[in-house]
Chains A and B, each alone.
Chain A
Amino acid sequence: MKIKFVTACVVLWTGYASATEVVTHPAVPMDQLTVTQLRGIYSMRQQNWPDGTAVRVFVLPAKNPIHQTFAKEKLQMFPYQLDRIWQKITYSGLGAAPVVLTSEQQMREMVANTEGAIGYIENSDELSKLKVIRVTQ
């Protein structure tokens, strides 16, 4: 009984936890990424996909709930940590921060139409022109 209850909780929790999906341009040559690899991309350290295509990183504004869920559940980081990493690389010359988009709709369009793009959206059946990336530990 106890095991069933725990299992139900885990199912409920994991269901809630996958409220966002990591998506890429359909031509990106990967189907899954580890959390570490995804962190490398969103920390702007990872510049290229394995086929050499440049990685184009898109985000939503820090206050956007989808961004907050993505940061916590997919990257296992808090949004303020991401802000600090991006501010550090931007203002000490180490690189460029991700491109900030204004809405989920714009995210869908930009990722679908930009070679090498990666972004995230709310869980949805509407995934045409986007590739869903499975994130593993």
Chain B
Amino acid sequence: MNYPSLKSFVLRSKLCLLLLLGSVVQAQAEGLTAEKVRWHGFISQGLIQAPETNFVNLDDSISAELTDLGVNMSWALTDNLRLAGQVVYLDGGRRYTKGTRLDYLFLDWTLHSDFDWRLDMFVGRFKNQHWLYSATRDVPFTRNAIVLPQSVYFDSFRDIAVGSDGLAFKLTRNTSLGEVELNWSWGATNLSKEQSQILLSQLAQGDAEQEYVHQASLFWRPDQSAWQLGISLLDSDFTYEKAEQDYYSDGAMTVQRVMFNGRYAAEFWELSSEWVQERLDISDFYAPGFQRNSFSQGWYLQGRYNLLPKTWALLSVDLFDLDKDDRSGRKFSESTGGLVPAYFGYQDDLTLGITYDFKDNLRLTMEHHWVKGTARLAYPVMPDLQHNKSEYWQMWAMQLMYWF
């Protein structure tokens, strides 16, 4: 079993203190005096095990590296100007960068608001509002599952997909066909060396940089309907500048995504689904003159059922193919002379889970994953043959979460 290091223990303690302080401030500020400044937070701890993979750790043990903590503030400066910020501490083992970070800090300027439409502009570091769970993927009680479907929410991409520093707009409009929400954003994420190595493996010694990420999405909630439907587009460019001693060369990558999503809500059950096609264009990088353009595809369908008043069951199917024209991974394996097994070309996941609410803000979630393939395990550009040894593998996780 992996225990947190002293440094991470101190960090967690500090954040717990902040959370406690937030709770006290919240409790002290009664009634409407608290409306100008609002504090909220969450704290969660879990256990996870994913043997025979590099998903969480390398020694196959049960890990306590499943921690999400956060505290946020929203401050209404004027009637149409607001400042919002959140600090989080995350520990997902090897899934993404561990530590405390500024999750978001932005100014929200409401440019127009009436009963028919509203337009907001956001400046600063904001969350990705374009996918079903992207804005709150680190907030455990807002997710259906502890580990989100990796076809869409690939943990190795978490740090670059979770938000951006830049400019965004949100428009909501009531039409005769229902409510329409349009989001647009432009920005970039600064990649630390650790974040680069989660993407590119520890062989990468140079500097990876996201030049920009440009996204747009449209959500439609028809009147008198239990449906919500959406589409989103993403375009992003990266560059890599090699170090003096480096496995990789200078290079450039383009990532483009087309996504569709849908959600159906009934009183005692709910379905949600997202489909993604991702284009990855790599120039040089592996070697000067190297060129590859490929299209991956994936989708998931999650169903939740309200078994008992405080209990929801989850059934999730998540499918991903690294190359839509090579779903078996055979050509991919052949292109490496058989060195990389074909199961690195896909990853299909069946998940069963259960959630129990002890209170309105205290929840326990448990889930088990049966997985075939390793295409959504690190590293996206360099298959980890040493640690991802099996085509079939399993994972379980449990997490206790509290929020205020």
Contacts and interface: CB of A to CB of B under 8 A. Distances in A.
B79 A92 contact: no
B142 A84 contact: yes
Contacts of A99: 31-32, 35
Interface string A4-37: 0000000000000000000000000000000111
Interface in B358-392: 360
B106 interface: yes
Contact of B223 (A36, A62, A78, A88): A36
Contacts of A88: 135-136, 142
Chain B interface mostly helix, strand, loop or mixed?
A: strand
Contacts, number: 98
Contacts of B85: 93
B3 interface: no
A56 B110 contact: no
Given A93-B85, A96-B35, A45 B172 contact: yes
Interface in B148-182: 170, 172, 174, 178-179
Given A40-B115, A96-B38, A91 B139 contact: yes
A72 B266 CA distance: 11
Interface in A68-101: 72, 76-78, 80-81, 84, 87-88, 90-96, 99
Contact of B32 (A56, A77, A92, A137): A56
Interface stretch (A46-54, A118-126, A128-136): A46-54
A65 interface: no
B136 A93 contact: no
B226 to A, nearest CB: 9
Find the residue from A61, A84, A91 having the highest chain B CB count within 10 A: A91
B22 to A, nearest CB: 13
Given A87-B142, A91-B40, A47 B129 contact: no
Given A81-B265, A96-B35, A90 B72 contact: yes
A46 B74 contact: no
B290 to A, nearest CB: 38
Q: Interface residue tally of chain A, by bracket? A: 35 or more
A124 B211 CA distance: 61
A37 B32 CA distance: 23
A119 B141 CA distance: 26
Nearest to A117: B32
A39 B181 CA distance: 14
Given A45-B172, A54-B79, A87-B136, A93 B224 contact: no
Interface of B: 31-32, 35, 38, 40, 42, 70, 72, 74, 76, 79-80, 82, 84-86, 104, 106, 108, 110, 113-115, 118, 126-127, 129, 135-136, 139, 141-142, 170, 172, 174, 178-179, 223-224, 265-267, 270, 360
11 contacts: A36-B174, A47-B79, A48-B113, A54-B79, A63-B360, A78-B266, A87-B142, A91-B139, A93-B84, A94-B84, A94-B108
